[in-house]
Each structure stands twice: as C-alpha cells, then as structure tokens.
Structure 1
C-alpha cells in the first residue's frame, strides 16, 4: 500500500496510477539465468579479491591443506574481519564436507574439486543476491511503483549476474545496502501515515472547545502506534555488520540512516528530542554487534584466548578492531599507491558508465540538472528531503562522492548503488507502451511525440541489453578466464602424478593463482603416528608468479630453475614436472627469444590451451596490423585484411587463450629434433 499526505508529500514527484498486471516472465527467465550461470560455472576471473579475501582465508581452516592468506588477514595487523568469510565460505565448505562422503559412496567422486570448491560459496552468494531483488520489489510495492520494470532492469544488469554471485565483500555490501534501503523505506512510509494522523489529531486537540473533547482527542493520540524507533535494532545491526565487512560501508549507510533519523522532523509531533533519542538508541543497539565482531576477530587472530579470560589477564592489547586498522592503513597514500592510484573523478567518468552504461549516464545527467536547478534556486524542481526520491537520489550520489575522495578507485567499489539507481531511472530505458509503466515524472513531461519518444527508448533498451550481454560474457567468462581451467588441470595433475614427483609452475600476465582450489597437502602441520613419531609432509608444488615481467627475464629464470631441478634429480633422484602458463599473445615473443638462444637452455611443448582468456594488459595483435604499424607496409596490411577476412578473424580469436607449456631439460635427442 502507498502512503501520501499533505505535509510530507513524500512521493509528490509521481502520479499514482492503477498498476497494470503484467507477466513476470522476463524477470524469472533472468533470475533462472543467474542461477544457471552460477552452476555452469563462470570461469571469468574479475579480481584476485574474489579468492584471496574469502576462499583462501577459510579453506585452510576447513581442509587439511596449504593456503596463502593475503596480507589483509595477517595476524600482526589484520584489516579485514573473518566473520563474513566464515559465514559465506565456511558455511559452504561445512556443507560440502558433510556431503562429500555421500558423493564418493554414490558416484565415486569427491566434492573437493575446483568446481565444487567455487560452486558452493557462489550458490550461497547467488541466494543472497535475490535478497536484494526482494528489497527492490518491496520498496516498489510500498510506494505503488512499477516493480516489474525495475526488477527486469535489475536482473538484466551484468552486475547481478557476475559480481553479485561471487565471493566479493562488495557483493555482501550490495545486499546489506539493499536491506538498509528496504527497512528505511518501510519506516518512512509508516511514519508518514502516523505523523499525518498525529498532526491532525493534535490540531483537533488544540482547537477543542471542551475538556471532554480534549480527553477524547488525547486518548486517540495515545492510541496511535509507536513509530519513532521502528526497525532500530535491525538497522543498527546491519550498519555495524556492514562496517566490519568493509569500512567504506559508512558511505552507503549514511544516506538511509540519516533519512531514518529525520523522519517527521518539522511536524507538530516530532521534534529534535526525537531525533536525539533515535541517535542514542541507534548507537546503543549497535554495541552488541560490534562486541560480537571484535570478540570473534580477537579469538580468530589469536589476540584473545580462553586461558587469558580464565586468568582474567585481559587488556586492550587483547582486542583487535579491524575497521580501525583498515582506516589506519588506507589513510596513508603510500599504502594506496601499492594498489594503484587513480584520478579522483574516475568513479564518475569511467566506473559509473562502465557498470551501468545508459542507466548510469542518465543518472549522472539528472544529477547535473539537479545541481543546476539548485544553483538557480528552483527548489520545486528538486526532490523533497523526506521523500523516497530524495532517499534514493542521495543513496546513489553521496556514496560515490565520498568514495571519490580516496585515490584508489575500482568499479566494484560502487556496486551497492545499483538498487537506488535502478529504482530511480529504470523506467527511462523501458518501452512505455509495451510495459505500461504506472508512473511518470510530473516536471519532466516531454513535449515530443509518442512515436519519437518510443524510438529513443527502444535505442536505450537495445544499448542496455547489448552492453550488459557483452560485459556479462567478458567478466563472467573471458577476463582471465583461463586461470580456473588451469587450476583444474593442475589439480588433476597433482592427483595423477607419482607420489615423490615435484610440480613446478611458472605463470606470467595472469592474476594470482588460487592455490586453495588445487588442495595442496599441508606442509606446515606436524603429524603424529600411532607410535608417537612426529613428521611433516614435504612440499611437492612450487608456484612462481612472474606478473608482468619481460619475457626475456622469465625465460632466463625458467632455465635457471630447470637446471636446479635437473641437478636435484641427478643427485637426490627427485623427479619433477615443469610447466609455464602464459597468454597465447606472448607465445611468439617466447619462441623468438628461445630461437635466438637456439633452445639450448630449455625444451618446450604445448600441453593445452584454455579458452577463452583475455589479458587486458596484453591484448591480441594481428600480424597484418603489425606490418602496418612497425614496418610501414600499409599496402600489404590493407590487402591481407580485405582478402583474407575469415582467416584474420580466426587468427585473432585463437590468441584469446591461456597456453600451458611443458618445459623439459634439453637432451641430445631434443636438440637434434629442434635443429632438424
């Protein structure tokens, strides 16, 4: 049910209309697609944080394996809470561990494989992503807005298909922001109704001519339900949890919490005392959640033990507050510089259009018009401060403004603004005649003909779906897409190899290799036999991540390490297998350098190529174009481009792969084969 009154005019930017019952087929298809792509799975590697702030953190605690915990979880100075990794990955792996024996018994297949190790956490995140969808649906229903148009737009965004189903802390932040907006919107709608009735009864009470009449209105006032502290505990809990998940959540929580605090201010029955009571109660309700997170992290990182509690040997040194460490770390520019410094305007000029294409551009243009109206003192053209439009506009713009203060800016940092952006502008990119939206903006009524308007909207719709389809494929499957298949291949290699064989893997121009997926045996734990003998397992997997180093230097390092392995084999009889994974685009450079050295140092052969794999730092380059640019042979270039288009396209597509080479120590036979 919608709420509207003369005082607040909370949704006076819209004309209420009778909702038209439309089928939700499109939304359910898109929702099903989100689930199917999670099962597939998506092999695209968006950012190392997907693995190294969740799976790598928890896998070692649930399985007896070696993992490489990132610096954020260093016990000496932890900047991330362990609560959410345990909630998402820990819960998933607990279920996986319990189901694995049944899988072995029924199908003969264990669940501790790279596929299932990413599937279970992603399925849980996929389920959480639908909480955000439900929040959008509830908000639209509260204010009688067309939820169908908005849900279809929301579900068709590649953010919900790729980012929201991954184990990013930003994805959790998106869900928590959606919950905040839902509960605050509910409180605003409910309070408007109560405040309107309260103001009406108070005015009647003030104008009452007799004591009997005053008593009557006083009782009616007293019978009105309480609304001032509605959902306070829930909001405080979500806010504190969000801050411990990512301290940047303050930027996303500030607008909805501010709107919750100032509900009804300026009316006859709500004053500054209510405002201060809400602040005090909100802080009070947030304390238990903060204590829980502090205690959990203090135990997890070893700052606090049960023995210290038993002996009452507890001080401030026994507690760790990860958000404070996070802020302390990021307050120094030199620390941010190690992760990359960006222009302050990157979020607005690049990240918003990249994430939301036409929807984001419409949002930025609309905000620009609001600024212009404010400068011209056209206050009636601006959304009301206590309206749902005011809440959503502030929740879209203000977090981006705050995060733009920090020089390290990545697109995923601002994905929590997806819900307010879709709520505000989804109808602007939908075909109104076909979807029959139920609301239109009053002060933005267009004078153009409906036919011309529909043509423009159809172009926007086409742009929206084309961009989201391409970006869903790029981030979901192509971007660094060979790393996960490589991990699957290495995991199979580790299981199939002879027991004493060592595996050496070099990588270059790829993101960090997620070692938790290949289930390395634990070399840090001390095992005890039945006879009380202690022993440790020897390391049998060695990873050498070369990043963006020159191929010449990598070749020399491979040759040096190969000689060491061969020496160990000759002296200690330790067999080995040596691999090098690199983008196909670098293979020509590798072969060229190997040819210059007559391949005397190493011998190599292609084992497998994993498709698709896009390395943005080293994109494919056609030989014909190379002739144009480097050798000035423009005639040859143009001739080959137009004479052999299919061949050129095939050559280009073949370069979107990750190549796995088997490196071997050269023998007389291999050298003779190379010369021949």
Structure 2
C-alpha cells in the first residue's frame, strides 16, 4: 500500500527539544481528503443517479421531453400507432430522426429485445421511463469530466480546494440535476456546446504548442491530435445544427475564438500554413460528411425507402432548413406563444440561474468599460498580427462572451422558453464562480445558490404536473383494461406520452385491446362535455371503457355530465400536482371555513390529479 510521509513535531518529556518524526499516512486517506473538497458535487451526482434510475422524477417539464424524443423511436420499434406532432410531418419535417435514433435507438431496441426474450406481455412502465433518460444521464456524467478539464485549462494556477468550490456550484445546479437527466433536445444541445468549447480550446492549445515546440516526435503526435480534434469539431457542429438549428447561437463565440487564434499565426512558415489548411479542410470535411449521413438517414426515413434518390430536388429532407422556414412565418410561432425580446435575459435566465445570473449582470454593469475594451481588443486581433504571448492570453474575455452573446440571437426569436438557455450553465459557472472566489464572496453566494436550486429542483423535478406520470403508470398497469376498446381523456394537463400510456411488447404482436388517447389540453368545458357524449354515442354496440384524468381544480366541470346521467367513479388521486397555468386561481379564490390550518389543508387538497372511470347511467 502506498503511503504519504507527513512531517510532525513532537516534544519529549523534559520539553527541552523538539524532534521531527515522520508518520506514514495511507494514500487512500489523502485521496479522501482531496475528494472531500468536492462533497456537494458528489452529493449532486448521487441525486442525479437516484432521481433517474431508482426513483425517477415525476415532474413533467414540457411535452417536447417525450414527443420530440422517445415517443417517435418507441412508435417505430414497437410498431404502434402513436400520435406524431407537427415536427414530424413527412411533407416538411422539422426534426431529424437520425439524432433521435442516435440517442434512443439502442435503449429502446434493448427493451424490445428483452420483451421478446422474456415473454413480457408489456414492457414495465418504469423501464420505459428510465431507459431513454439513462442515455442523457450518461451524457451528463461525461459532461462532468469535460467541465472539470475546462476548469483546469482556464485556471491552471488554482488549487484543488478552488477546483472543488467550482465543481460544488456546478454539481448542485438544478439545471444539471433535473434538466440534464431529461430527454430534451436542449439537454443534448448543452452537451454538444460543452464538447465544442473543450475541443476548440484543446485544438488551439495544440496549435500554439506546435509553433513553440521544436521536437519532431512531439510535433507528429500533436499533428495527429490536431487532425482528430478538428474532425470532431466539424462533427459536433453538424450534430448540433441537426439537433436544434439554434445551435449556431451558442457555437458562434467558440468558433470566433478559434478563428482569432488562427489568424495571427498565418505569417509562419509554409509548412505551418499547410498544416492550417489541413485543419480547416478536416473541420469542413467532417461537417459535410456528418451532415450528409444525417440527411440521407432522414430522407430514407421520411420517404419510406430509397425513392428520394430518384428525385433529390423534391424528396431530399433537410430538417434545419424546414425548421427555419417554419419559424420565419409569424403565424406558426403564434401557435406556440409570442414573447417580448427581453424575456430571456430578465426572466428565463433568472429562473434557471438565479443568484449567479444576477451576480454576472451586476459585474457587467460595474465593469462595462472593460467589456468594451475586450471587444475592441478581439476585433483588433483579427486584423492585426500578434505575438504568441498575446494569443495565449486570448481566453480572458472568452467565458463572459460565451455566456452573454447567445442571448442576442436567441432573443430575436419571438418564442422563448427557459429551457432554450440550458447550455449557458457551463460558461456562467466558469466565469462568475472564480470571480466570487477571488473576492471571497463564494461562501455567501453558495448558500443562496443551494437554497435556490433545491427549491427549483423540487418544483420542476417532482411538483410541476407531478401527478400525470403516476396517473399514467396506474392506468398502464391497471387490471381494468379488459375491454375491446378503451378511451383515456386528459383534460387541462400536459399531453400524455403514448408510449408511457399504452402497454407494448414485441412478444405479443396482436394487442388484446385498443386504447385511444384524447388530449383536450386546456379546452373549455363545453368541448369536454361534447367529447364524453360523443364517445358513448358513437360506440353504443361496443364493449368499451372510458377514463378521465383531470386536476382537482377542474372537478366542478363534471357537474353537467353528472346531471346527464354519467357516473364518475374516482379510482385514485395523485399528489402533488402543481399546474402553473391555474395554480393560483381557484384554490386561493375560494373562502374556506374553519381554522387557518384547515384552510391550508383545503388548498393543499386542490393540488391533486384525479383519475375517473366513467360510465353511463
């Protein structure tokens, strides 16, 4: 066992002299001491794993978490007939299925294979939920490694304690714990953004080392490393654009940083200029090759075969182009909600990053003159020759611009949601936390950061629409599903994911019963009444069962149907279910009798989701 020698002073019994003696400390104790500085980061990792694999988060952030990801892959592999959103319209698809299969093809295929091998009548609900999320969890753990390496690259003079402080801020961020364990395209975009930053910093560092280094052997190794990182840069840029066409808003600063470090080196030897041309060609080549593969896969998928080869002009599918054309039309954006341009910077960033965003804004206001100087300095470097020393100092304003610049293009889009800003977690912490450490403010801000993130993680992780997934699990596993045809009507909830609602398996290709999902979203009561009546009137001769899921705040909407001789049998209530759209309407507007405790309990009882079995007569 390895040991560490520690010098210790000890006095004799006469206290006349002090003698230095050595104590052998086991290496695992010194390692534990080192790791204890990262204690909050490790706690965050444990929470991430538990909340993903053991006790999955039941909060429902946004329908895109399911409908722009696993829903499509489950539908294809299990040969079901689930509802596709408008993004996957074969006439002009907005989303690349190649990215979806890259992320979720393997875990869903494993479930399909297991269901056939183990003769499952239905894949367990728990496995259908956690297998796709496990992919994003794996990417988030890989992000931890890249992020830690970036910390050491940007702050090589920091000690392990300071590295631990930065990682602790990062590890307990609710964006990491909640959003980076969900199947959102924004989560994958964040991973690609971090990877791009890391690859470009490594690429630039290798390039500058080649200029200074004179060893032929080391130069050969660095050349290979440059070619590899250059190819990966092109690949990541392509994946980013086809995953979300907003990726260039994040990629622009890393690419400008790379470009500003390339320009000043153009005056070197012809051999070096040849190397630069190879680097650029590998970046462009990898981008074109990756894009071509994705376009070919998407074209094959949406055309149901190779027929697109015959008519490339009309049948070639380029999803980012369709996405841009769709969002140019303001009438399309109006369907999803229009927002003012300041919403991202003032509201959404505060929701995601709270104290750290406010600290960054305050720092910018205090140091606005230096920000302008840094911007002018970068522009000058593009057009003027600089020495290698100046090139190495070019990372100083980089982190701030990595955080601030993406707000500009993202805010030009009228539709804005907090999740669009998820990739900014990395540059924000890399920039502001070292400043807090330098000014001895990190302990005070960390307390606020912890309270803020615990609160938001509970809200988005478990409370927000928190009753819907448990209700779907109960419905999925319910022994009541024995009729030829079953209807599930959801009213004033988020869209129920079909693959989590309908039992599916590759062992039984013919389903014993049919389940139809009717999502009424936020429809008016009249439409809800008409839907229930139509279901029974159009299926008079069929053996059917009708189920309704709705929040407790809307249970008064059942009065009319009850008067029309429909019976609603409450099967189960699921709590807590926080609906931000109506969270503060009915519960606080009703006057409750009794003590304050009874009033609070009555309000708490309103935040439930009810599952009813509906019968006629």
Specify if TM > 0.5: yes
d(CA) in 1 for partners of 2:320, 2:451:
39
Q: 1:231 aligns to what SS in structure 2?
A: helix
Say if 2:574 is the partner of 1:610: yes
Equivalent of residue 203 in structure 2, options 183, 187, 195? 187
Question: Could you tell me the TM-score, scaled by structure 1's length?
Answer: 0.75
Q: Given the alignment of the two structures, is residue 590 of structure 1 paired with residue 554 of structure 2, yes or no? A: no
1:358 to 355, 359, 378: 355
Task: Answer yes or no: is 1:243 the counterpart of 2:241.
Answer: yes
* 1:283-315, Cα deviation, whole Å (9 max, x unpaired): 23311111111111111111751x776xxx453
| From 645, 648, 653, the counterpart of 2:596 | 645
Take 1:82 and 1:505, find their aligned partners in 2: how far apart are those partners? 28
Asked if 1:154 corresponds to 2:138, the answer is no
Aligned-residue CA RMSD in angstroms?
Answer: 3.4
Residue 449 of structure 2 is matched in structure 1 by 464
- Number of the residue aligned with 2:327: 330
Cα pair 2:566 2:615 within 8 Å, conserved = yes
Instruction: Determine helix, strand or coil for the equivalent of 1:544.
Output: strand
Instruction: Name the SS of the counterpart of 2:572 in structure 1.
Output: strand
Tell me the secondary structure at the aligned position of residue 415 of structure 1: helix
Q: State whether residues 103 and 110 of structure 1, in contact with CA within 8 Å, keep that contact through their aligned partners in structure 2.
A: no
CA gap 1:391/1:458 in 2 versus in 1, 3 angstroms: closer
Question: Structure 1 residues 617-626 or 602-611, which shifts more?
Answer: 617-626
1:510 — aligned with what?
493
Q: What are the equivalent positions in structure 2 for 1:28-177 lying under 5 Å apart?
A: 28-39=42-53, 40-100=55-115, 112-143=123-154, 144=156, 145=158, 146-177=162-193
Higher Rg of the two aligned structures: 1
CA–CA distance in 2 between the matches of 1:327 and 1:244? 12
Q: 1:298 to 1:598 in 2, by over 3 A?
A: closer
1:317–1:460 CA distance, 2 compared to 1 (3 A): same
Q: Measured at CA, do residues 601 and 375 of structure 1 come closer, stay the same or move farther in structure 2, by a change above 3 Å?
A: same
Q: Contact between 2:486 and 2:513, CA under 8 Å: does it hold in 1?
A: no
Q: Distance in 1 between matches of 2:219 and 2:150?
A: 29
After superposition, what is the alpha-carbon deviation per residue over 1:59-115, rounded to whole angstroms, capped at 9, x for unaligned?
Answer: 1211132211221111111111111211222111112223345656xxxx6671221
In 1: Cα distance, 2:573 partner to 2:347 partner: 33
Q: Secondary structure of 1:617's match?
A: coil
For residues 87 and 583 of structure 2, the distance between their equivalents in structure 1, rounded to whole angstroms, comes to 31
Tell me, what secondary structure is at the counterpart of 1:604? Answer: strand
Written as runs of structure 1 = structure 2, the 5 A alignment for 1:449-598 is 457-493=442-478, 496-500=480-484, 502-519=485-502, 540-565=514-539, 568=540, 572=541, 574-587=542-555, 589-590=556-557, 593-594=559-560
> What is the alpha-carbon distance in structure 2 between the residues aligned to residue 240 and residue 286 of structure 1?
5
Q: What are the Cα deviations for residues 398-445 of structure 1, in whole angstroms up to 9, with x where unaligned?
A: 11211111111111111111111111112455xx5xxxxxxx3xxxxx
Q: Which runs of 5+ in 1 are unaligned?
A: 1-19, 202-216, 433-439, 441-445, 447-452, 528-535, 628-636, 667-676
SS of the aligned residue for 1:262 comes to: helix
1:402 counterpart = 2:409: yes
How far apart are the structure 2 equivalents of 1:499 and 1:661? 16
State whether residues 585 and 620 of structure 1, in contact with CA within 8 Å, keep that contact through their aligned partners in structure 2. no
Distance 1:646 1:234 in 2: 60
| Aligned counterpart, 1:286 | 287
Task: Please list the CA deviations of residues 261-302 of structure 1 after superposition, one character each: whole Å capped at 9, or x if unmatched.
Answer: 221543584599687775554323311111111111111111
Q: Secondary structure at 2:56's aligned position in 1?
A: coil
Q: Give the TM-score normalised by the residue count of structure 2.
A: 0.82
Distance 2:79 2:586 in 1: 47
Unaligned runs of 5+ residues in structure 2 are: 1-32, 382-389
The range that moved more, 600-609 or 473-482, is 600-609
Match of 2:429 in 1: 422
Cα drift, residue 624 of structure 1:
7.3
Question: How many angstroms apart in 2 are the aligned matches of 1:556 and 1:499?
Answer: 22
Alpha carbons 1:240, 1:286 under 8 Å: kept: yes
Give the CA deviation at 1:581: 1.2
Distance in 2 (CA, whole Å) between partners of 1:100 and 1:347 is: 44
**1:13 — aligned with what?**
none
Question: 1:622, CA displacement in angstroms?
Answer: 7.0
Answer yes or no: is the 8 Å Cα contact 1:136–1:147 preserved in 2. Answer: no
For 1:556-608, what per-residue CA distance to the aligned partner results, in whole angstroms no more than 9, with x for missing partners? 4424433444xx1xxx3x22222221111112x325x43xx872332223211
Q: Distance in 2 between matches of 1:645 and 1:520?
A: 45
Task: Give how far 1:46 is off.
Answer: 0.5
- Matches of 1:465 and 1:44, distance apart in 2: 20
Decide whether aligned partners of structure 1 residues 377 and 557 sit closer, same or farther in structure 2, where only a CA change above 3 A counts.
Answer: closer
Q: Deviation at 1:652?
A: 1.9
What SS does structure 1 have at the residue aligned with 2:336? coil
> CA shift at 1:499, angstroms?
4.8
2:123–2:503 contact (8 Å) kept in structure 1: no
The alignment partner of 2:517 has SS state of: strand
Which of 259, 263, 266 aligns to 2:257? It is: 259
